[in-house]
Amino acid sequence: MKAALPNDTFIYYFGLFSPMKSGLYLLLLFCFFPFVLAEEPSFTVLVEPTERSILFNQSAEFDLIIQNNLAQIQQFTIYSPDVAWDIQFIPVSDRFITIPGGLSKSVRVKLRPLYVSPGVFGVSLNIKAGEEIQKALLFVSVSQHQQAEAYLPALYSEFRIPSEIDPREENNFTLLIENRNRKTLGNIELSIQSNVFQREEQVSLGPLEKKEFTFSLDLDPATPPQEDTLQATFVYKEDGKTYHFDARPKTYTIQGYGGIEEEKESTSSFFKYKDTVTFTNTGNARKNHVYTVPTSFLKNLFTTTEPLGGVYEKKGEKSVITFTLLLDAGEKETVIITRNYRPLIWILLALLILVFLYHAYKSPVVLSKTSRVVATQEGGASELKVVITVKNRGPKTMQDILVMDKIPNLAHIVREFEPGTLAPSQILKNESKGTLLKWNIDRLEKFEERLISYHIKTQLAVLGNIQLPPAVAKYRTLQGKEKIVTSTVKGE
């Protein structure tokens, strides 16, 4: 016989047949306890038990009625992962069957207990067609002695919870429990388990009673995003037997939320600028965060970061310092960017001081001396023209400047001087040291330049360059200190 199968329903079903009333019990059981094996299936499966209560040395047989809901032929494979039972198909070839579209076929399954204790068991069979798999539970009560006629416990349960929940909010879930037999079930031990929830309860159900239990899912707001699965196990003990029922597991998602918040504080003092940026992960999961600071090549030379790890890089035409942060839920991290231009300022100040000192202490009187061969004899120089340039490069007039120059012994001065040039005020000749020339300049205006020129003749023709000593100038500063300036010497 066949029954309509409602969607999204698993039915846990138990019963007991007696030889005298088997027909009546079959009718009642088929009316009240249909099995649901799939949601929107391409095929449906109905279990019709012919034996449900056996002794250890007996076998239980069931009829598996498979309905092909498609219009085309489907091939079916029937197998079981349960190793505690000897499962046989009658005939053996019915493990693999082909059913035309819209038709059904009955498969006889024989179960014999191998490694079980007295109790009630649900033996799982998998029926596969293509990629779709449905499960059928064959319930068998195994005892050591013949049982009297009675109802066996039968429970159906399911969870109701949103598919996604926010751990910051108040969340609840409901567990629906239904007694699907006309038997009072008292002191049922209920255990609910998941990654984030555990609860132990005792419940009781009257005949065919339905109850809904609501539980508060109190989550830590920092609970990381994840998929969690609620599982419920019912344990009912009666007459030395233990009955186990499991609710269909319900998977839901704990959502992720939040992000990285930035809090920036800027301070500055005398060419030193500091930005303190605090990053806070306000979410419930570890997060990566990339923080960039605009900069330039010059700015980067004066930039330091705490902690170290900022990377200077070019992004298009812009330069940035990039920080890559990894923050756990609720974690904070602080990055300090300091631009310190003080070393540059100190360097500039030092240069300014040096320039100031240079100008403050440099000699305002500058001498330069050049010589040029104007006559030769026998291939060597015989006469030279010497030009001494005296320049006041200071902003103030200089007075009483004494310029001195020395002529080596191998030469003597020509006492005829060019018009416009300043003639020496003294010519002192020493046989061993040579000739000393002196010029007195009474006044030299600021930035004024004077030229002193004279000729010397050598006693012998000189091959190569003639090395002349530098000229010397003496003057007094405004403070009355005597200063001596030596000229540069250049021969042409």
**pLDDT tens-place string over residues 292-305:** 999 988 888 889 99
* pLDDT at residue 16 tops 70: no
Could you tell me which residues come within 8 angstroms of residue 50 by beta carbon, excluding any fewer than 6 positions away? Answer: 60, 61, 62, 63
Contact 167, 246 (CB under 8 A): no
Residues 380-414: pLDDT tens digits? Answer: 788 889 999 999 988 888 888 999 999 988 888 88
| 365-491 carries CATH number 3.40.605.10 | no
Other C-beta atoms closer than 10 Å to the C-beta of 94 total 17
Residues 424-467: pLDDT tens digits? Answer: 999 998 877 889 999 999 898 988 999 999 999 887 777 667 78
Architecture of domain 22-253: Sandwich (2.60)
Contact 59, 111 (CB under 8 A): yes
- What ranges do the domains of the chain cover? 22-253, 260-343, 365-491
Could you identify the residue written with the tokens 């033996």?
123
Other C-beta atoms closer than 10 Å to the C-beta of 15 total 21
Least confident of 157-161, 165-169, 179-183: 179-183
Single-letter residue type at 449: E
* pLDDT at residue 8 tops 50: no
Could you tell me which residues come within 8 angstroms of residue 397 by beta carbon, excluding any fewer than 6 positions away? Answer: 443, 444, 445, 446
Q: Is 422 exposed, middle or buried (0-12, 13-18, 19+ CB in 10 A)?
A: middle
**Fold agreement (22-253, 365-491):** yes
89 compared with 152, residue with greater pLDDT: 89
> Taking the domain 260-343, which CATH number applies?
2.60.40
C-alpha–C-alpha distance, residues 183 and 399, integer Å:
134
C-alpha–C-alpha distance, residues 22 and 16, integer Å:
9
Query: What's the mean per-residue pLDDT of the chain?
Result: 85
Name the 3-class secondary structure at 26.
Answer: helix
Could you tell me which residues come within 8 angstroms of residue 320 by beta carbon, excluding any fewer than 6 positions away? Answer: 292, 293, 294, 295, 312, 313, 314
Least confident of 28-42, 52-66, 179-193: 28-42
Can you give the pTM of this predicted structure?
0.47
Q: Give the pLDDT of residue 181.
A: 84
Q: Give the pLDDT of residue 127.
A: 94
Q: Give the pLDDT of residue 37.
A: 37
